[in-house]
Structure 1
Amino acid sequence: MHFLLRLSMKLVKMKNTALAIGFIAFVLSASTFAYMIEAETFETWFNSLYFVLTTMATVGYGDYSPSTFPGKVLTIFIYVFGIGLLSLVIGKIIDAVADFNRRREAGRLRYQGKNHVIIVNWSKKAQYAIEEILSTDPNIEVVIIDEIDKHPYDKPKIHFISGDPSSIDILEQADIKNARSAIVFADARIDEPALVDGKSLLLASTIESIAPKVHTTVEIMMEKHIQNFKHVKVNDFVLSHDAVSRLAVRSALNEGSLDIFTQLLSRQKGADVYHVTIRPEWKTYEDAFLALIKQGATLVSNKSDMTINTKLNQPIPTDAKLFAICDGEVYKKINNVV
C-alpha cells in the first residue's frame, strides 16, 4: 500500500510530457503483450489495442476477452494500473484547460494572430469601439491592453493582455508589429487632462517606435496638445469632447441633421463612409463618380478633400484614396468583398 501511495505521488508530480510518453508507452506495451499472449483471440494487434483502451476506460464491451491464464493476469494488471494512469492523464488535461482559462482571464497569454485591432486603456468608450468594430466586420479580432487584472470583456474574438501598455514587452505580447491598427483611449482613471494626454503621448510614441507601419489613432483631451502628437507621427486624433459638442451644435442649427451624422458614426445600420478601390478605367473624378452612382454609392472625398465634386474633370492622382457613402451590401459589391 505504501509503495502504491509513493508511486501515485511520483506520477502526480511528473511533468506532462513525461506522463504523456509514459501513458503511450504503457498502452502500446500492454497491447503488444496482449496480442502476443492471445493472438488467436485478438487476431490483429489493433484489436488488442482496442481491448486495452476499453479495459482502461472501464467500458469493457465484452466483444474481446482473454481465455488463457497469462492473458487474464495481464488484463487484471491493465485494469488496476491502467485505470489509475488514465485518470491521472485526464486530471492533467482538465488542470491544463483550467490553467489556460485562468491565464487567459488574467491576461497572461501571448496573442497569436495578424491584422487585429489593439485597444489600449479599457473604458466604456473602448467597449463601444469594440462593438462597433465587430458590427463592421465580425471576423476582426481585438486585443485589449490595460493594467487591470481581469478580462474586462470576455467574448469570442476578444483577447486581453494585462500589463503596462507603455512597456515594449506588453506590446509585443499583443503582437503590435502584425496589428492592423491601434486605438489609444484616454485613461479615465487620471483626473488631470494634461497628465492624461501625457500618458497617451508616451503610449503613442512607444507604439510608433516599434511598429511605425501600424495605423495609430489617439484620443486627446486638449486640442492644444495635437502638435505634440504630430511629432511622433500619430496617424489620426480624436478630441475627447469635440464630437459631442459639434453634434449638439449641428442639431441646434440644422434641425434633423443629427440623424445623418449619427448614422455615419455607426455602422450598425444604414449607410456609412467606405474606402473604395480605384478601378483602372477611372481616369478622372467624374469617371469614378458616375460609375459609383450607377452602383448606388456617392463619391464624397479623396482622403480629407471633400471638394472633389467641384473638380470632376481633374485626373485622379496616383496616391488618391477615395471614399464613398453607401450601405454595406453596395460596398461589398463595389470592392468585391466576400
Structure 2
Amino acid sequence: MSIHTFFQWYFRTPVFLRLLLTVSFFMILFGMIIHWIEPEVFPTIFDGIWWAIITGSTVGYGDFVPVTIIGRIFGILLIIAGGGLVTFYMATVSASTVKYENDLSEGKVEYRGTGHVIFIGWNERTKQLIDMIREFAPDEKVVLVDSTLENIPYKEYSIHYVQGNGSEDETLKRANINQARAAIITSDPSMKERQADQASILATVAIRGMNADIFIITEILTKEQITNAKRAGANSIIRSNDFMSTLFFHELYRKGHIKPFDTLVSQLSTQQYKQIEVPDELVGETFQSCSFKFMEQEELLLGIEKAGEIKINPPAKLTLDKSDHLLVLSALRQ
C-alpha cells in the first residue's frame, strides 16, 4: 500500500477510529523509544508501552519511571502530546456516543437488521400494537417509519425509528425494506379519510415495488379504496371503520349488563386469531367434532374458509376437506 493510498484510507475512516489508531501509534512509538533509551529500567518493549499508556492517560502508577534526562524529556513530550490525544479521544468518543443516541431518537440512523416488521405511521393504534408485541412477542424486531415525529425515546419503546415519508424510496431503504418480513400501514388520523386512504395506498405501492415478497397489511377507511389497495399489492386490508361501526352497533343493542371495561374488545386484545390448514387427522371430520378437539386445547374454532369463502359458525355437520383453512381463536401467550 502506497503512502497516498494509506492516507486516503486513513482520512475516510470514522474520526474516533482515526484517533484510536493515532493514540495507539504514539503509545507504541514512545514505548519502543523509552525501551531503547533506558533498557535497564524498561527491560521489554511491553514495559515501555505500558509506561507510555499509563503516563499518556495521566494515571501515573509510578511503577516505571525514567531516570535519565533524555528519558524524562521524552516523558514530558509524551504527557504533552499523548495526554492531549488521549483526552481528545475520550471526549470525541463521548460526543460520538451522545450524537449517535440523539440520531437514534431523531430517526437518522439506518436499520441494518433483517426479518423485521415495519410500521408506517405513528398514532394511538401503533402505540397499542407495539405494547402488545412487547408483551406477547418480545423478540420481534420493529422499525417505525413516520414523518411527523421529531424524536422518539427509543429506550422506552425498544424500537428503531426512521424519520421520513413511508412512500419514499430513500426512507424505505433506511428502514431496510428489502430485508423486512412484513409491513403495517396505518391511516394518518390528521388527514381526511379519502386523503388518508390515498396516502396508505401510495405507501403500499412503494413498499411492494421495493420488496415483492413482503407481507403488507394496509388500513383502509373507505370502502371505495379497498379495490385500489388490493391492486397496490396489499396482502391484507383492515377496514377499521367497518369494525368500529359493528362494535358500536353490538354495544348499543346487546342484552345484559357487563361490568365496566369487561367488553368484547378488551377480551379480544388477549386473544390471537390464526388461520391454519386442516390437520391430516381432521380431514373428513365434521366441524362440530373438530370444535370439541380444539376446545380440549383451550382454543376456539370460529369458522372455516372453504373454496375461497369464509364461513363463521358454519353448520355443525359440515365436512372438512384438505384444501380448507380453519379460523381459530386462542389465548396470547408470552
- Scaled by the length of structure 1, the TM-score of the pair is 0.79
Note the 1:155-304 alignment, pairs <5 A. 155-190=156-191, 192-255=192-255, 259=262, 261-267=264-270, 271-274=271-274, 283-284=283-284, 292-302=294-304, 304=310
What is the alpha-carbon distance in structure 2 between the residues aligned to residue 328 and residue 188 of structure 1? 28
What is the alpha-carbon distance in structure 1 between the residues aligned to residue 280 and residue 49 of structure 2? 64
Aligned residue type for 2:171:
I
Aligned residue type for 1:32:
M
In structure 2, relative to structure 1, the CA distance for the partners of 1:43 and 1:222 (3 Å cut) is same
Per the TM alignment, residue 110 of structure 1 is displaced from its structure 2 partner at its CA by: 0.9
Note the 1:1-338 alignment, pairs <5 A. 15-148=15-148, 150-152=150-152, 154=154, 155-190=156-191, 192-255=192-255, 259=262, 261-267=264-270, 271-274=271-274, 283-284=283-284, 292-302=294-304, 304-307=310-313, 310=316, 313-317=319-323, 322-329=326-333
What is the alpha-carbon distance in structure 2 between the residues aligned to residue 181 and residue 41 of structure 1? 65
User: What's the CA shift string for 1:80-105, capped at 9, x where partnerless?
Assistant: 21110111111221222222223222
User: What's the CA shift string for 1:38-82, capped at 9, x where partnerless?
Assistant: 333334332322221111121111222223333322222211211
* Number of residue pairs aligned between Structure 1 and Structure 2: 311
Per the TM alignment, residue 123 of structure 1 is displaced from its structure 2 partner at its CA by: 1.8
Identity of aligned residues (%): 23
Secondary structure (helix, strand or coil) at the match of 2:140 reads: coil
What is the alpha-carbon distance in structure 2 between the residues aligned to residue 285 and residue 66 of structure 1? 91
Secondary structure (helix, strand or coil) at the match of 1:41 reads: coil
What is the alpha-carbon distance in structure 1 between the residues aligned to residue 56 and residue 290 of structure 2? 70
Q: What runs of 5+ residues in structure 1 fail to find an aligned partner?
A: 1-13, 333-338
Secondary structure (helix, strand or coil) at the match of 1:213 reads: coil
What is the alpha-carbon distance in structure 2 between the residues aligned to residue 61 and residue 212 of structure 1? 62
Per the TM alignment, residue 111 of structure 1 is displaced from its structure 2 partner at its CA by: 0.9
Aligned residue type for 1:254:
R
Greater displacement, 136-145 / 233-242: 233-242
What is the alpha-carbon distance in structure 2 between the residues aligned to residue 44 and residue 278 of structure 1? 74
Aligned residue type for 1:324:
V
What is the alpha-carbon distance in structure 2 between the residues aligned to residue 67 and residue 278 of structure 1? 86
What is the alpha-carbon distance in structure 2 between the residues aligned to residue 324 and residue 293 of structure 1? 10
In structure 2, relative to structure 1, the CA distance for the partners of 1:321 and 1:78 (3 Å cut) is farther
Alpha-carbon contact 1:110-1:161 (below 8 Å) kept? yes
What is the alpha-carbon distance in structure 2 between the residues aligned to residue 323 and residue 166 of structure 1? 33
In structure 2, relative to structure 1, the CA distance for the partners of 1:153 and 1:288 (3 Å cut) is farther
Greater displacement, 80-89 / 131-140: 131-140
In structure 2, relative to structure 1, the CA distance for the partners of 1:222 and 1:79 (3 Å cut) is same
Correspondence for 1:7: none
User: What's the CA shift string for 1:274-301, capped at 9, x where partnerless?
Assistant: 4668766554556975654443333434
Aligned-residue CA RMSD (Å):
3.0
In structure 2, relative to structure 1, the CA distance for the partners of 1:309 and 1:173 (3 Å cut) is farther
User: What's the CA shift string for 1:243-272, capped at 9, x where partnerless?
Assistant: 2221122223334689463245313xxx43
What is the alpha-carbon distance in structure 2 between the residues aligned to residue 323 and residue 314 of structure 1? 12
What is the alpha-carbon distance in structure 2 between the residues aligned to residue 277 and residue 65 of structure 1? 77
